[in-house]
Amino acid sequence: MTQPDHQPPNTMIEPELGALLGVFSLHCFIESLMDEIDNGSDVPHIDRKIVIWLDRPKRLGTIAREMNVLPSTMTTLADQLESSGLVVRERDPGDRRAWLLRLTPAGQDLRATMVVVARTLLCETLGLSVDELNDFARMSLKIQANIHKHTTC
């Protein structure tokens, strides 16, 4: 007898491996739906990721480290975002040699749209309650902070 393709989750799987399977599935799901997260605009995938990272003005080098890209790559990406009107560069008041990247009103609008679409994907499509989403966000940000403390990812 053959087993169906879609079986209920294995409740006997080790929690560590269950967590990894969930992360793998979520990553694949989000990557496949990144076009929907920007609500159909023609903003490139990598540019949308930068908009997500820009919760506040940040130095180009900081964003490059957070996204695990070369500073020269970040400079090129910043040029693209600037020419599309999503960001502006401004001098860092704390260090006039450094540049900050800041979202423009158009960039803020795109980010706000991405929040709404991401909430829909995470709550409605994946079935998370608002409380579960908040818990998941707290755990994810803790994981992100610890990863950045210990690696270059």
At 58-91, the pLDDT tens digits run 999 999 988 889 999 999 999 999 999 999 999 9
Q: Is 100 helix (H, G, I), strand (E, B) or coil?
A: strand
Question: Does the reported pTM lie above 0.85?
Answer: no
The tokens of 151 are what? 């690696």
Average pLDDT estimate for 93-101: 90
Where are any strands of DSSP class E within the chain? 58-59, 87-92, 95-103
Q: Which residue has the tokens 């929690």?
A: 15
Q: What is residue 55's three-state secondary structure?
A: coil
The pLDDT of residue 12 is above 90:
no
Q: Where are the domains of the chain?
A: 42-150
Q: Which CATH number fits domain 42-150: 1.20.970.10, 1.10.10.10, 1.10.390.10, 3.30.365.10?
A: 1.10.10.10
